[in-house]
Amino acid sequence: MNDPPIRPAATVMLLRPSTDGYEVLMVRRTNQAVFGGGMYVFPGGRVDDADGPGDDGFVVAAIRECFEEAGVLLARDPAGATPDRRHPVFAEREAVHGGAVSFAELLARHRLAPALDDLVWVANWLTPKGEMPRRFDTRFFVAAMPDGQTSGHDRQETVDSEWLAPAAALARWAQRDLAMLPPTVAQLRFLDRHPTVEAVFAAGRAMLRPERVEPRLIPGTWEVRLPGEPGFDELA
């Protein structure tokens, strides 16, 4: 079996303060999804040509997918303000999702620009070789939930959503209540090591350019081994 081509992708971990720290937004992919069906993930998807080249293309893709899948818009107007839920741009979410209008056209019409500096790149994962229907070179970003906005899954690609403390999400994963892919679990563990939103952002900015992680698939299973784990070198 030939490995499918590697496609660039981006995902964003939206964080909001809570009484005992902070929560992250997670969405559940539809069971019909080709990749990660039924899994709890962070809003995200493939980088399109229209998102632009280079590093900025990944950030724009993360912002666009967050708008499409979670209804949250990380953008600013000419005065530097973030739109709240009453802004007319939110009425056109489905038009962007369905392809009737491009994300760039929508932002231009409402005199908005992607808030590129509001996202911090914290991880880079490559889908392992093997019996995977698709492979992605995925960048994970963190961003703060904008004031005055609300989140909601799109009921198409994502069929449920929850705001969860990282420790709570990990506990539910361990209890097999939430199905997740290894990169999602790893990023929740990264979040759980930092007690505040500010600490998460500080840790991300200190990385400068995160190292790409490429797990290795155990033949005949959907289990992986990560660099440094027992058995990883034997799977080369």
> What's the pLDDT score for residue 173?
96
In a domain, 176, yes or no: yes
Number of domains in the chain: 1
**Residue-wise pLDDT tens digits, 193-214:** 999 999 999 999 999 899 999 8
Residue 151 CA to residue 100 CA, distance in Å, equals 22
pLDDT tens for 217-234 read 887 776 788 787 888 788
Residue 77 inside a domain? The answer is yes
Where residue 49 falls among pLDDT bands split at 50, 70, 90? very high
Is residue 202 assigned to a domain?
yes
The verdict on residue 136 lying in a domain is yes
Query: Are 151 and 72 in contact, with CB atoms under 8 Å apart?
Result: yes
What is the tens place of the pLDDT at every residue in 135-175?
899 999 999 999 999 999 877 778 889 999 999 999 999 99
User: Helix (H, G, I), strand (E, B), or coil: what is residue 1?
Assistant: coil
201 located within any domain: yes
Is the pLDDT assigned to residue 55 strictly greater than 80? yes
Radius of gyration from C-alpha coordinates of the chain: 18
Determine, yes or no, domain membership for 220: no
Q: Tokens in use for 218?
A: 């155990």
Range of the domain at 90: 6-209
| Residue 228 forms part of a structural domain | no
**Residues in Cβ contact with 129 at an 8 Å cutoff, skipping those fewer than 6 apart:** 3, 135, 216, 217
* Closest by Cα among 118, 117, 134 to 126: 134
- CATH number for the domain that contains residue 65: 3.90.79.10
